[in-house]
Amino acid sequence: MFHDLKMNLKSFCYELHTTPMFQQAIDAFISTVVEVVVGNVWLAGHSLGSALALLVGKSMAKRDRHIKTLLFNPPFLSLYKNNFHHRTSIAASLVKGVYILEHDRQRNRQGPQSLAPPWWEFFHFQLNHLLIDVDGSIFGAVYEFKYFAYHSAQNAPRFVVAFRGTIKKRGSILRDFKLDLLCLCNELHRSSRFQLAEQALRNIVALTGPTNVWLAGHSLGSAIALLGGKKMAKMGIPIESYLFNPPILFSPIERIKNQKLKHGIHFTSSMVKAGLAVALKGNHQRSQQEDPFVALSTWLPYLFVNPADPICSKYIGYFVQKNGMEGTGTGKFERLLAARRKLLGAPGRDSEPSHLIPSACLTVNLSESPSFKQAHGIHQWWNPNLKFQSELHKFR
């Protein structure tokens, strides 16, 4: 499986022709053609195999030997612009690179012994610089695309800022768990890790402009990326963001199994909040610009969730409920109440829930995930056989 994944990555990077697999394929085909008439030979392949068959066929055609070729589900690689799964695979792989960078640090793997570089070198990125927390752990990285000048017209990023999630190893577990708790308490924005991340993002955007930057993160890292993306969006600077298994805070109501009862509670709660919002409106006239949903409306992050992952799966219900509230006309009161929470909160305290976003492209993994490790893992998002459904939830 790992070898096939490696070959898929080579295919994504237009380097399949450099592999021993391709060399074996072309050698086998040439030896076959030598023994028989060209017209009696067919080439065929499926998926990765069709990429090999296509390369072999092109190589033979350059020798003026045209072979009948049948290609089933051949990969089509428009490097960035039109290939959503490829863009997703790149972002997920770069996040994985941050995980391996921290593993390398903890195990003192340096130079040729380091296992991290292939995760970005496959896609022609180079490591620009590391993001290091106060405890010395590597929590993020800034990658630079080496061939940006040749692919800028395809919406390729020049820089990708990526953040890892929690690592349950001695060298980082205490710090990561502390940040997990801050995330649960909606206090992650106060941490040094987020402040370092935000400053790095601001510096990169100032250097190259927002359209040339991607944000990416997994689990705790996606919570950091989400906060950073929201802050930039509120300044009118939306960043293309890939958020894998982002944590979402939810109330005990979400544990209710009866969907009709749960929906009824949500609806009643929203109507009560709407009444409170109307009452507050009389005392505090606020401009539309102070509505947090309006301020974030230009930002459309990509969220990747798995229904079997309790850490992120509530985003599915969140957008269903939000769309339902918009449909009944109470959505605007929900947004008004969110603004009031900021107004009436303690001085210097941002009480807006970190997961509160008005719009997103929500991608749900429809493949079976028999364990939490599989449902929450970053590896699922670069799987070439991934079954998924994407839906745009747009602010209205």
pLDDT of residue 65: 72
- Structural tokens at position 108: 């003192």
Classify residue 190: in a domain, yes or no. yes
DSSP 152: G
Comparison of pLDDT for 267 and 32, the residue scoring more: 32
pLDDT at 247: 95
Q: How confident is the model at residue 34 (pLDDT cuts 50, 70, 90)?
A: low
List the one residue out of 31, 25, 28, 81 whose CA is nearest residue 48: 25
Same structural domain, 245 and 119: yes
Q: Picking from 57-71, 108-122, 132-146, 232-246, which range would have the lowest pLDDT averaged per residue?
A: 57-71
The mean pLDDT of 334-340, rounded to a whole number, is: 50
Strands 360-365 and 388-393: antiparallel
Count: domains in the chain: 2
- Judge whether residue 280 has pLDDT over 50: no
Mean per-residue pLDDT, 202-227: 96
Q: What is the model's pLDDT at position 25?
A: 84
- Torsional sign, CA 182, 233, 248, 388: negative
**Does the residue 349 lie in any domain?**
no
Nearest CA to 162 among 183, 139, 136?
139
For 180-191, the pLDDT digits (tens) are 999 999 999 999
| Same domain? 97 vs 240 | yes
Whether 210 shows a pLDDT value over 70: the answer reads yes
- Contacts of residue 6, defined as CB under 8 A and 6 or more positions apart, other chains included, come to none
Give me the domain span that covers residue 366.
Answer: 79-251+293-325+354-393
- 13 pLDDT more than 70: no
Q: Could you please report the per-residue DSSP string of 292-350?
A: HHHHTTT---EEEE-TT-TTTTHHHHHHHHHHHHHHHT-HHHHHHHHHHHHHHSPTT--
Report the mean per-residue pLDDT for the chain. Answer: 80
What's the rounded Cα separation, in Å, for the pair 50 and 44? 7
Domain termination site, one of 75, 99, 134: 75
The DSSP bridge partners found for residue 163 are 140, 217
Judged by DSSP in three states, 154 sits in helix
What CA–CA distance (Å, rounded) separates 263 from 147? Answer: 50
User: In a 3-state reduction of DSSP, which class is residue 391?
Assistant: strand
End of a domain among 10, 45, 75? 75
Residues 60-67 have a mean pLDDT of 72
Mean pLDDT, to the nearest integer, of 5-31?
76
Exposure letters 228-246 (e unless 16+ CB within 10 A, then b): bbbbbbeeebbbbbbbbbb
Q: Average the pLDDT over each of 26-35, 95-104, 356-365 and give the range with the smallest value.
A: 26-35
> Exposed, middle or buried, 248 (CB in 10 Å: 0-12/13-18/19+)?
buried
What is the average per-residue pLDDT within 291-298?
74
pLDDT for position 33: 67
What is the percent of the chain with per-residue pLDDT over 90, rounded to a whole number? 47
Do 103 and 14 reside in the same domain of the chain? no
State pTM to two decimals: 0.72
Residues 46 and 143 in one domain: no
**Comparing C-alpha atoms, which of 37, 35, 31, 45 is closest to residue 66?**
37
Q: What average pLDDT does the segment 372-392 reach? A: 93
Could you say which of 60, 75, 90 is where a domain stops? 75
Same domain, 68 and 108: no
Confidence check: pLDDT of 31 > 60: yes
- Picking from 92-106, 142-156, 306-320, which range would have the lowest pLDDT averaged per residue? 142-156
Average pLDDT over residues 358-387: 93
pLDDT at 67 over 70: yes
Distance CA 387, CA 389 (A): 7
User: In angstroms, rounded to a whole number, what is the distance separating the alpha carbons of residues 143 and 129?
Assistant: 7
More confident residue, 204 or 13: 204
Look up tokens 């001085």; give the residue.
347
CATH number at residue 199: 3.40.50
The token pair at 77 is 């690689």
